[in-house]
Structure 1
């Protein structure tokens, strides 16, 4: 994204268990990265507060399978274009 001619407005909600993981994205200047506790309800509450533009957005949700499924449900409503929402599990708790 940093090489694009026009830098997109990016807001990322990142949930981590260990705050040391924040160093992984420390080099990304100019993007709104919001660090949240590793708690599904906290992430869901923050998603509910976000103002999603009507026509210029892309929502990408990833993480543990059940959490991704639960969080993505709010974006199944009519006002969200399914082509602009991607929810993919990176792993499944066993």
Structure 2
């Protein structure tokens, strides 16, 4: 898809019945120790899920980008140094296997709110990409803490979106606030989506619900990762 994003299509009869109605659904993806390595699958007991030898493989949450309704699921992987999912995706070959589960629940958001505001870093771009294809809004604002060439290469043209590219690693409230302050939220006809690093997402959520008096049910704040 772009230098920083690799698209992988998974197929298999076990996908029958998969359902993902919301743009920011997430599924849990379990990875083997090596790309072509065997992946031990869990089994259900009366006490819950049990992993072979008591060892749970590395897992990460991912956005289901597209599903064909029967046996083909598409995921986009953000490629970066040191990531379990990124390392697996970079080395994956046709026929490699993973395990996945979910989504456990969905928050279905109407597509036609007049004003829609999206704040994310690279980890949120696949969800925004899925959402963009279905939106019917008068105003769409995207504040992307992503390097502009990467964002443009991945998302393509966004002619009806007011986009601010802040640069990778720039998800900081002091950089975002001056861009958010001028956005006018029409009464009860808006939706705000905030995702990325957990502490910043919390600060932005507080900004909208406390300083801007936004309705909490019109603000969706989801931490996609946490700074350690």
Q: Assess if the C-alpha contact under 8 Å between 2:197 and 2:224 holds in 1.
A: yes
In the alignment, which residue of structure 2 is the partner of 1:60? 193
For CA contacts below 8 A with separation 6 or more, give which structure has more relative contact order.
Answer: 1
Q: Normalising by structure 1, report the TM-score.
A: 0.79
Q: Which runs of 5+ in 1 are unaligned?
A: none
In the alignment, which residue of structure 2 is the partner of 1:33? 163
Q: 1:15/1:72 Cα in 2 relative to 1: closer, same or farther (>3 Å)?
A: same
How many residue pairs match? The answer is 91
Residue 61 of structure 1: SS of its match in structure 2?
Answer: strand
Q: Assess if the C-alpha contact under 8 Å between 2:171 and 2:200 holds in 1.
A: no
> Runs in 1 of length 4+ with deviation above 6 angstroms?
none
Rounded to whole Å, the distance in 2 between the matches of 1:33 and 1:93 is 25
Does residue 14 (structure 1) correspond to residue 144 (structure 2)? The answer is yes
Q: Assess if the C-alpha contact under 8 Å between 1:68 and 1:88 holds in 2.
A: yes
Q: Normalising by structure 2, report the TM-score.
A: 0.36
Does residue 82 (structure 1) correspond to residue 216 (structure 2)? The answer is yes
Residue 49 of structure 1: SS of its match in structure 2?
Answer: coil
**1:19-69: per-residue Cα shift (whole Å, max 9, x none)?**
332222224332222222424111122112221112210000001011111
Rounded to whole Å, the distance in 1 between the matches of 2:182 and 2:160 is 21
Deviation at 1:12, TM superposition (A): 1.3
Structure 1 or 2, whichever has the larger Rg, is: 2
More helix by share: 1
RMSD: 2.1
Q: 1:84/1:27 Cα in 2 relative to 1: closer, same or farther (>3 Å)?
A: same
